Chain A
């Protein structure tokens, strides 16, 4: 099935309409904003395709109907919150806001969240700090699908690391990286397209090399070498061990297991102006970016980019021209909307217009 182009406001409103059938409207808005932001920046694996997955888990009572946060620790620059099996995006946004407020006073702040769920793209939170002229950090642990370096049984997620830095313009330099050698989504894609995968991406359930995407999906992701594995373990300690959430082997898989995941997140903010005058910082950030993008590319590369540049360019383009989406996913959303007895006339109309 082909791809269609949907205006950003239409897609957002459809997602809010659907999600707010099950959770309070203000929470639905946050969740939809995070998912649509993922599509806008070209990270469609974390985009509106998740609406169906999330609501399936909600229907099975695996995610709560609203995000009721309990404060477990409140310690000047640090805090630990229990999201009580609420929504990752909602708990994450509130926690990052809290970090920003505290960093304004103390210079830095770090917040831990336990008993949470999948929080979407990590950069949604770190960028909040960057918009307040701070450096933002956002980490989470994830389903237990990755082996530690040299191991054949999993005890890690592809736990991502995300850092955002403001530049004084609308560009936010953002590194948002998983610690796996590849994203599971790319193996899914290879399976769909009937392609082989490189043998360093994943192992079979028996610990053997494989170039077969189907076997890889049943098996486990390999980390990005020993360094990626080390980073994944450290992220698991920050987001799981330190927060009081599940960690390592004890994190259930999001799709295959019918128990709450009890995921943990860890957020941080550093107030730049406490270290250096913002003008000087931004001037040097401009020079830093220039040094990168003005590099002569190696053979086989078109250009050299700063972290987050592709996503930034994609977002600008799609805000102007609309979001490119698999038609299948849009139809899935409409089916869901119909199931909840929503009026989908407007959304079906858009489909007719674009096809």
Chain B
């Protein structure tokens, strides 16, 4: 499939303008930024491809058009924010920033968000903490697509965890992982390409193993073994139950569901300086990075990477030369912009700066 090299600023401006037709500009900016950020880091499944689906949910009145945040609890180093079915990205940026602020005073802080929606990409928040000299954590639950280990019927999402650690330079060590064996997006790609999938990715709706992506998409994801299943359950407790949100099989589907998802998130920040001198920490982290990336690779591998290194390299490349985005995704964005009557100037700007097709 053809990809177009899109400039970050023009992409962000167009997405913001589309969203701003329906939302407050400040909220539109955050949401657009989170989408473009995902594309910049090469995580296209959470990028601008999501814009249309998000607006569909808004049009179906499943998400509010304004994120009315309500501080339900605020006690020393912890807090709970009710997002009142507003936008996950908006609630999460506020929650993480509040967490960072609290951690500046208390050195560790956790802030929960309840009654929220899909928050996009976890590292968008944890990297904010890392930039403040902290170790950041973000946990979320998700649509009920996955079976617990050994089960035929789903009662968890491919719940995700993200953790970020700063280094001396602009690389931020970041683990951003779901707890399923593979992302649902990978199965969708196989479906599109008409390819079969390996056993172990998903089961059919009747609980049978399958290599047919079609059947897998109507069926359920398999967890990353017993450990992935255990982690998913723990993340459901931390992000869903602890915050008073939906959890497990109570969470309706993001795409097919007809009710608000009421997702929960939990954010954490640990101030590094409260444990150890910052420069000493940076020196030690550098040793950790170096001992990892200088590892001699196994047969079949080019090199050994730190968590988040590949996406950081993608980010650097994409910021320089433009973001490769599937042509149909750009076409959809443009037609979306037209139907929302966005000033055609933004479309022209985006199109005129396309850096070619790859």
Interface residues, chain A, with chain B CB atoms under 8 Å away:
73, 75-78, 80, 105-110, 112, 135, 147-153, 155, 161, 163, 165, 173, 175, 177, 203, 207, 224-225, 227-228, 230-231, 233-234, 236-238, 240-244, 247-249, 270-272, 274-276, 280-281, 284-285, 287-288, 291-292, 295-299, 301, 303-307
Question: Which residues of chain B come closer than 8 Å to A281, judged between CB atoms?
Answer: 241-242
Interface of B is mostly: mixed
Q: In the bound complex, do residue B233 and residue A275 qualify as a contact, i.e. CB atoms below 8 Å apart?
A: no
A–B pairs, 6, beta carbons within 8 Å:
A110-B108, A173-B233, A175-B230, A228-B227, A247-B288, A270-B78
Q: In the bound complex, do residue A163 and residue B241 qualify as a contact, i.e. CB atoms below 8 Å apart?
A: no
Q: In the bound complex, do residue B147 and residue A295 qualify as a contact, i.e. CB atoms below 8 Å apart?
A: yes
Our pick among B148, B242, B281, B296 for the contact of A295 (Cβ within 8 Å) is: B148
For residue B231, CB closer than 8 A to chain A, the reply is yes
CB within 8 Å of A: which B171-196 residues: 173, 175, 177
Q: In the bound complex, do residue B296 and residue A207 qualify as a contact, i.e. CB atoms below 8 Å apart?
A: yes
Question: Which residues of chain B come closer than 8 Å to A296, judged between CB atoms?
Answer: 151-153, 207
Interface of A is mostly: mixed
Given A151-B304, A233-B307, A248-B291, answer yes or no on A274-B173 (Cβ-Cβ < 8 Å).
no
Q: Which residue of B lies closest to A296 (CB)?
A: B152
Given contacts A77-B108, A271-B78, 9 further A-B contacts (CB under 8 A): A78-B275, A108-B77, A147-B295, A151-B295, A151-B301, A233-B306, A276-B241, A284-B241, A298-B203
Q: Which residue of B lies closest to A74 (CB)?
A: B274
A109, B108: Cα distance in complex, Å: 7
Q: In the bound complex, do residue A75 and residue B274 qualify as a contact, i.e. CB atoms below 8 Å apart?
A: yes
Question: Which residues of chain A come closer than 8 Å to B163, judged between CB atoms?
Answer: 234
For residue B150, CB closer than 8 A to chain A, the reply is yes
Our pick among A80, A135, A274 for the contact of B275 (Cβ within 8 Å) is: A80
Question: Which residues of chain A come closer than 8 Å to B287, judged between CB atoms?
Answer: 247-248
Question: Which residues of chain B come closer than 8 Å to A248, judged between CB atoms?
Answer: 287-288, 291-292
A294, B177: Cα distance in complex, Å: 27
Q: In the bound complex, do residue A151 and residue B296 qualify as a contact, i.e. CB atoms below 8 Å apart?
A: yes
Interface residues, chain B, with chain A CB atoms under 8 Å away:
73, 75-78, 80, 105-110, 112, 135, 147-153, 155, 163, 165, 173, 175, 177, 203, 207-208, 224-225, 227-228, 230-231, 233-234, 236-238, 241-244, 247-249, 268, 270-272, 274-276, 280-281, 284-285, 287-288, 291-292, 295-299, 301, 303-307
A225, B75: Cα distance in complex, Å: 39
Q: Which residue of B lies closest to A152 (CB)?
A: B298
A155, B305: Cα distance in complex, Å: 13
Scoring A224, A230, A248 by chain B CB atoms within 10 A of each residue's CB, the highest score goes to A230
A110, B110: Cα distance in complex, Å: 11
Our pick among B149, B276, B281, B284 for the contact of A304 (Cβ within 8 Å) is: B149
Q: Smallest CB–CB gap between B66 and chain A, Å? A: 25
Q: Smallest CB–CB gap between B160 and chain A, Å? A: 11
Q: In the bound complex, do residue B76 and residue A298 qualify as a contact, i.e. CB atoms below 8 Å apart?
A: no
A249, B237: Cα distance in complex, Å: 34
Q: Which residue of B lies closest to A291 (CB)?
A: B155
Given A149-B304, A237-B173, A298-B203, answer yes or no on A288-B247 (Cβ-Cβ < 8 Å).
yes
Question: Which residues of chain B come closer than 8 Å to A272, judged between CB atoms?
Answer: 242
Question: Which residues of chain B come closer than 8 Å to A175, judged between CB atoms?
Answer: 230-231, 233-234
Our pick among A107, A150, A276, A303 for the contact of B77 (Cβ within 8 Å) is: A107
Question: Which residues of chain B come closer than 8 Å to A177, judged between CB atoms?
Answer: 227, 230-231
Our pick among B106, B148, B233, B271 for the contact of A106 (Cβ within 8 Å) is: B106
Our pick among A135, A203, A243, A304 for the contact of B242 (Cβ within 8 Å) is: A135
Question: Which residues of chain B come closer than 8 Å to A241, judged between CB atoms?
Answer: 281, 284-285, 288
Q: Which residue of B lies closest to A110 (CB)?
A: B108
Top 8 nearest A-B pairs (CB, nearest first) are A107-B78, A295-B151, A151-B295, A301-B150, A150-B301, A75-B274, A230-B307, A291-B155
